[in-house]
Structure 1
């Protein structure tokens, strides 16, 4: 009888934890983040070197420190692995062409980093609750909304309402940042990148962390490679 009572207590404790967790909407693959942060977006990124130290170096190479330190922006942050994969694929292309590879992020021209990073940045603060619904399988009904990125490119933002217990749109909600390949057909071929952690709120805006699995920095690997090579690769140490 005592063993059965202990099992009931343990089950109740687990369910209580799950209920508390479900009330939060800022999840990340590796844990739960505090929604408020007493510091700038750049300071937050620097405080998480395991996830963002390469991203911080890319921001510095782009000359965009002040954007993330002083301006009011919303940033959909790609994690280190996205930067790593982009440079790895670039090096594979350079190596195949018999060219010197990249060993430092600063070898890639600042304008390339700025153009790519600016696709993830939007002026003003946008929380999950501020963004309209998107259904990637029913874009005519729920298409999200077009927003102009910091670099002037139109991107699509939407909140995906997941299903629960077989009922549509009643499950957890997840932000999606979408790249529009063809502006003449803005609902065709969207490259969708889900957010893993949403609504982190530093002092100068909002930070959403992208799910890093399967995301290519710049949304298409060839765009980054072509841009970097066209701009010219600098020498290491310069």
Structure 2
């Protein structure tokens, strides 16, 4: 992955959040773009102008998963290359507890753990179309292609770093993907109240894109691959 600014502007979809923004606009790195693309999910990620998915797509290619993320009707919550880098760093720290000279690299992952990547990528896929109209503030329970549960919510925010401004009358809304590891969910279900021991909650820095093959969302750069904590 090319060296780009680590902390790019959080890109989120906001319905009627800014004056002059149409309902079918969404924000990516500060630029308004259409919410639809004629490209497949794979090709759209490949065409990203910031080259934020080069490593992800390299792993997808090596694991033979291109057709998996291009399946018709799925929703893909894509981790960026930063999520992979975060995982490599975490694994390096783990192995260095045993041998300080060791390092866990992308080559290590490809050589020894490509099967794990192939299976675990299904944790980022919901085998149905997830749209804003199908979501609620408190979250809706879905099953991933891996078989786990995930809670996906579409929440209002008053966080200025996520697009809130007192100059607008409508609160921006943010999509969150909470991967459920196990344990009891709150009853009634409230996504923001799911504790860390039960689920890993990740903000979608880009959401609501319809590709030629399905729905695409991008998880925040701070996410760690495989929902590690």
Give the TM-score category using the shorter length. 0.7 to 0.9
Q: Does the CA-based 8 Å contact 1:177-1:193 persist in structure 2? A: yes
TM-score, structure 2 as length reference: 0.73
Give the secondary structure class of the aligned counterpart of 2:39: coil
**Which residue does 1:27 correspond to in 2?**
27
The yes-or-no answer on 1:177 pairing with 2:185 is no
**Shift in Å, 1:44:** 0.8
Residues 154, 174 of structure 2: 8 Å contact kept: yes
- Answering whether residue 126 of structure 2 is matched by residue 119 of structure 1, we say no
Q: 2:147 aligns with which of 139, 142, 152?
A: 152
Corresponding residue of 1:92: 93
Larger radius of gyration: 1
CA apart distance, 1:88? 2.1
Q: Normalising by structure 1, report the TM-score.
A: 0.70
Aligned to 2:11: none
Q: Point out where structure 2 has 5 or more consecutive residues left out of the alignment.
A: 1-17, 159-163, 187-193
SS of match in other structure, 1:50? coil
Structure 1: gaps spanning 5 or more residues? 1-17, 135-143, 222-238
Aligned to 1:218: 226
Q: Distance in 2 between matches of 1:152 and 1:34?
A: 32
Distance 2:51 2:165 in 1: 36
The alignment partner of 2:227 has SS state of: coil
User: Could you tell me which residue of structure 2 aligns to residue 14 of structure 1?
Assistant: none
Distance 2:177 2:27 in 1: 16
Number of residues paired by the alignment?
A: 192
Deviation sequence 1:152-206 (CA, Å, 0-9, x none): 111111111224788xx94011111002233334543342111121111111100
How far apart are the structure 2 equivalents of 1:170 and 1:30?
19
- Residue matched to 1:203: 212
- How much has 1:219 moved relative to structure 2? 1.7
**Which one has the bigger helix percentage?**
1
Aligned residue for 1:9? none
Partner of 1:188: 195
Q: How does 1:26-175 map to 2 (within 5 A)?
A: 26-29=26-29, 31-48=31-48, 50-98=51-99, 99=102, 101-104=104-107, 105-134=109-138, 144-163=139-158, 170-175=170-175
Contact 1:162 1:170 in 2 (8 A): no
Paired position in structure 2 for 1:231:
none
